[in-house]
Amino acid sequence: MTDKEIYKARSKGFERISTLQSEVSDERFLEFMGSIHKIISKNKINLESIKQEVLEKAEIRKKLVQLFSK
């Protein structure tokens, strides 16, 4: 493999990293929805505690997005 090919591949890699950072993958979305399902199952119909736990999760997600954004 030549140096030129390596530089080209690496540039593409950095490009991919920067574009994917702002998006949430299907896998992570499903993981998030799964956690919501767990919260609802655990708290039954207690709307206030569901709201509280979802807000906490959303806060964590917001921090992660900020962390991953260049």
Partner 1 sequence: MNPFEKTLKDIDDFCIPNKIKYAIIGGLALIFHKIQRTTNDIDITLLIDLENMESVSKQIISKFKPIFSDPIPFFQKYFVLPVIDEKTEMRIDFSAGLTGFDKQVIERSERKKFGSLNLPFCTIEDLIVYKLFAARHRDMADLEEIAKIHKDKLDRIYLNKVLNEFSKLERNDMISNYQNFFL
Summarize as ranges the residues that interact with partner 1 (CB under 8 A).
Answer: 1, 3-4, 6-7, 9-10, 12-14, 16-17, 20, 25, 27, 63, 67-70
Residue 61, Cα to own-chain centre: how many angstroms?
6
Does an H or E element contain 28, and which?
Answer: helix 26-43
Q: Considering beta carbons, is residue 9 or 36 the nearer one to partner 1?
A: 9
Tokens encoding 24? 């949430």
Instruction: Tell me the closest approach of the beta carbon of residue 61 to partner 1, in angstroms.
Output: 13
37: Cβ contacts below 8 Å, ≥ 6 apart: none
Give the shortest CB-36-to-partner 1 separation in angstroms. Answer: 20
